[in-house]
Amino acid sequence: MLDFKHDRPFQIALSAVLIVISFSMIAPMIHLLAISLSDAKPVAEERVIFWPIGFNLDVYETIFQIKRLWRSFGITVYITVVGTLITLVLSAMTAYPLSRSNMKGRKALLKAIIATFIFSIPLIPGYLTVRALGMENTLWALMIPGATGAFYIVIMKSFFQGISSEMFDSAKLDGCSEYGIMGRIVIPLSKPVLATIALFHAVGQWNAYFGALIYLRDAKMMPLQIVLRSLVIDSDAALNGAGFDMAIKTPEMVKAGITLFVTVPILIVYPFLQKYFVKGAMLGSLKE
């Protein structure tokens, strides 16, 4: 059997492949950064690839002065933080009982939850439900409908089942209730799974676009992705209307700067959750 650990050619080849894959992922970001920092002339002539030609910060000075972007940025931060907290609370409250062997009917309930992997809620019934609950044109419509999911519940349940049952028995002997066990034992020991699910959901919430397009009507409540689309995709007229002076910067420079403005903040979150995320990446291997 081949010993990959001591097979140096294999390790070199694997490292080379991973480097190429990593570069292919960050190359678009590098390209956008180079465009946003370059002078207008080389950008217009399409001579900028991965290194700025000249140096120009006028794009970012202009972007930081757009009140519409900052308002949508604040809205997106709010729905990302609050929506992620709601998801963690509801998912944990659902997964914990399902992880306990003494819960009656838990297998049938778990099968019903897993069925939602296949049968998702159709658009029109989902919209009618949101409107009937009075959440249309509110930020709750962007946080509540997707707050829980079968994937999050199954992952949490698997992790909870991996916690030693002796700890639960000892807590019960000390007079601790199920709520106490969950709050004092399960949740503190579940930082890896909580961080993993938080990262998954936060990225999805930050990039959410379709929900705001369907449920929101007030332009002042639009999140960052909707504003990004109006400034980057719709037309150059939208950029001019936003206050950009195209004499010193091209539309491509502005679009690159706005795209980075929207993308970079969520990337900054990952290093703080990395140590927990690595531990939570193998949660699917746990069995009942």
Position 277 pLDDT exceeds 70 = no
The residue among 56, 75, 94 that closes a domain is 56
**pLDDT at residue 66, rounded to an integer:** 77
Q: For the residues 20-24, what does the mean pLDDT come to?
A: 86
Mean pLDDT of the chain: 79
Nearest-angstrom CA–CA distance, 61 and 221:
24
Q: How confident is the model at residue 112 (pLDDT cuts 50, 70, 90)?
A: confident
Nearest-angstrom CA–CA distance, 123 and 189:
38
224 lies in the same domain as 102: yes
Nearest-angstrom CA–CA distance, 61 and 68:
15
43 lies in the same domain as 155: no
Q: How confident is the model at residue 288 (pLDDT cuts 50, 70, 90)?
A: very low
Q: How confident is the model at residue 249 (pLDDT cuts 50, 70, 90)?
A: low
Position 241 pLDDT exceeds 70 = no
More confident residue, 33 or 244: 33
> What angle do helix axes 251-280 and 191-206 make, rounded to 10 degrees?
160
Whether 162 and 185 have beta carbons less than 8 Å apart is answered as no
126 lies in the same domain as 258: yes
**pLDDT at residue 82, rounded to an integer:** 93
Q: How confident is the model at residue 285 (pLDDT cuts 50, 70, 90)?
A: very low
120 lies in the same domain as 181: yes
**pLDDT at residue 78, rounded to an integer:** 93
Nearest-angstrom CA–CA distance, 10 and 66:
51
**What is the domain count for the chain?**
2
**pLDDT at residue 265, rounded to an integer:** 82
Report the percentage of the chain scoring pLDDT > 90. 6
Phi-psi region of 22 (alpha: psi -120 to 50; beta: other; left: phi over 0): alpha
- Residues with Cβ within 8 Å of residue 226, at least 6 apart in sequence: 72, 209, 212, 213, 216
Residues in the chain: 288
pTM for this entry: 0.79
113 lies in the same domain as 222: yes
CATH code of residue 88: 1.10.3720.10
Q: For the residues 88-104, what does the mean pLDDT come to?
A: 84
Whether 276 and 191 have beta carbons less than 8 Å apart is answered as yes
Cα–Cα nearest to 94, from 151, 176, 164:
151
226 lies in the same domain as 246: yes
159 lies in the same domain as 256: yes
46 lies in the same domain as 83: no
Position 196 pLDDT exceeds 80 = yes
More confident residue, 276 or 282: 276
90 lies in the same domain as 52: no
Position 237 pLDDT exceeds 60 = no
The residue among 56, 76, 94 that closes a domain is 56
**pLDDT at residue 281, rounded to an integer:** 53
Cα–Cα nearest to 207, from 225, 220, 189, 221:
225
27 lies in the same domain as 84: no
**pLDDT at residue 258, rounded to an integer:** 82
113 lies in the same domain as 196: yes
The residue among 24, 41, 56 that closes a domain is 56
Domain encompassing residue 167? 57-285
More confident residue, 88 or 121: 88
8 lies in the same domain as 102: no
Position 15 pLDDT exceeds 60 = yes
